[in-house]
Amino acid sequence: MTAFISFLSVTDESLKMASVLWAQSKLSGIPTAKDSSLDADLIICAQWRILAAQHPGQMSIIATTNVKHLGRFATVGRWQDIMM
């Protein structure tokens, strides 16, 4: 069965995870945004990681056109290329 999730609430847990990803990105020398910002890309990746951990063994993928940034932290695919 295929399930689609169109909305996930931003929670304290996802913001904390996003801040960890932000720090990892900065330390690696390949940031995804300006120094002063925690961009939406990392919040989306944090939510994906939480969702994937809650459903081990199930494929979860972020459908996006921003494969370059999100692909560093999550499983992503261009929405046009994802076959269900």
Check if the beta carbon of residue 76 is closer than 8 Å to that of residue 59. Answer: no
pTM of the predicted protein model: 0.81
Look at the chain and report how many structural domains it folds into.
1
Least confident of 11-20, 36-45, 57-66, 73-82: 36-45
Residue 29: which pLDDT band, with cuts at 50, 70 and 90? confident
pLDDT at 1: 60
CA gap 47, 64 in Å, rounded? 14
Is 60 inside a domain boundary? yes
Assess whether pLDDT exceeds 70 at residue 12.
Answer: yes
| Residue 15 belongs to some domain of the structure | no
Residue 52 forms part of a structural domain: yes
Question: In which band, very low, low, confident or very high, does the pLDDT at 37 lie, cut at 50, 70 and 90?
Answer: low
The parent domain of residue 71 ranges over 38-84
Residue at 62 is within a domain: yes
Residue 11, domain member (yes or no): no
